[in-house]
Amino acid sequence: GAVVSQHPSRVICKSGTSVKIECRSLDFQATTMFWYRQFPKQSLMLMATSNEGSKATYEQGVEKDKFLINHASLTLSTLTVTSAHPEDSSFYICSANSLESYEQYFGPGTRLTVT
Amino acid sequence: ELKVEQNPLFLSMQEGKNYTIYCNYSTTSDRLYWYRQDPGKSLESLFVLLSNGAVKQEGRLMASLDTKARLSTLHITAAVHDLSATYFCAVGHWGSGTASKLTFGTGTRLQVTL
């Protein structure tokens, strides 16, 4: 199946700093990617839809100025958590579809810890 | 607002037994996904169901979709310990080509005991 990678897999940062997470589709092109967040022992919540070449669409309650999304190419989307706070500590997962399949592939996730 | 409910939330079952996980959703959709998640890991795709009456099977797992009842089931046959994980259903909506926003169910934590 198609492969989606994320980098880094784990990151620890200090409160007030910014962190960038990359999501790449390795063997297919994705005009749309999705960013999810998962808190411990909870389900996944969609944060935003990342569209190649245009602005991201954010879900209700997600601050667009805090979670900056850039989808600069058909294989790369980035999520930047700005001015991180301890409550932003979570597991961030991206996903993407290939153009030929309804299958939605998830990246391995990035565990963010803000101290 | 789309709501997706799974039950049970937690399931402890003995090896060799059969059981079914249920996924109900509140609005019309023609894309239903099942995923497996191991502790500390991301999601592994199990099934994509795209039409009413769709049934897919892989090993000891079988998934079905009834779009009229807005219900999907994941049936486990003769459970083995390796199936211990958390299982999520997710309903796709807002389609742009093949891409879908997914609303996830609460998850079912399955524990298979000897």
Q: Which residues contact B66 (CB under 8 A, 6 or more apart)?
A: B52, B53, B72
Mean per-residue pLDDT for A21-33? Answer: 91
Give yes or no for B39 touching A (CB within 8 A): no
Instruction: Give CA separation, B25 vs B4, B39, B56, in Å.
Output: 4, 25, 19
Report pLDDT for B16: 96
Report pLDDT for A15: 97
- CA dihedral for B27, A97, A87, B89, sign (positive or negative): positive
Instruction: Report the Cα A58 to chain-centroid distance in Å.
Output: 12
Report pLDDT for B98: 66
Low-confidence ranges of chain B (pLDDT < 50): none
pLDDT higher than threshold 70 for residue A57: yes
Distance CA A36, CA A84 (A): 17
Distance CA A90, CA A40 (A): 8
Q: What percent of chain A is predicted at pLDDT more than 70?
A: 99
Give yes or no for A65 touching B (CB within 8 A): no
Please report which confidence band the pLDDT of residue A62 belongs to, taking 50, 70 and 90 as the band edges: very high
Question: What mean pLDDT, rounded, does chain A reach?
Answer: 93
A22 min Cα distance to partner chain B (Å): 15
Please report which confidence band the pLDDT of residue A1 belongs to, taking 50, 70 and 90 as the band edges: low
Q: Which residue has the higher pLDDT, B114 or A39?
A: A39
Report pLDDT for A52: 86
pLDDT higher than threshold 70 for residue A55: yes
With CA atoms as reference, report the closest residue to B6 among B111, B112, B91. B91
Instruction: Report the Cα A27 to chain-centroid distance in Å.
Output: 18
Q: Which residue has the higher pLDDT, A61 or B94?
A: A61
Type of residue numbered A55: K
Please report which confidence band the pLDDT of residue A31 belongs to, taking 50, 70 and 90 as the band edges: confident
Mean per-residue pLDDT for A49-71? Answer: 92
Chain B residues whose beta carbon lies within 8 Å of the beta carbon of residue A108: 41-42
Give yes or no for B31 touching A (CB within 8 A): yes
Q: Within 13 Å, how many C-alpha atoms sit on residue B19's CB side? A: 20
Report pLDDT for B95: 64
B96: nearest CA partner in chain A: A32
With CA atoms as reference, report the closest residue to A57 among B35, B96, B28, B90. B96
Collapsed DSSP state (helix, strand, coil) of residue B81: helix
Please report which confidence band the pLDDT of residue A109 belongs to, taking 50, 70 and 90 as the band edges: very high
pLDDT higher than threshold 70 for residue A35: yes
Report pLDDT for A101: 78
With CA atoms as reference, report the closest residue to A37 among B102, B71, B69, B25. B102
Residue with tokens 């979570």: A90
pLDDT higher than threshold 90 for residue A72: no
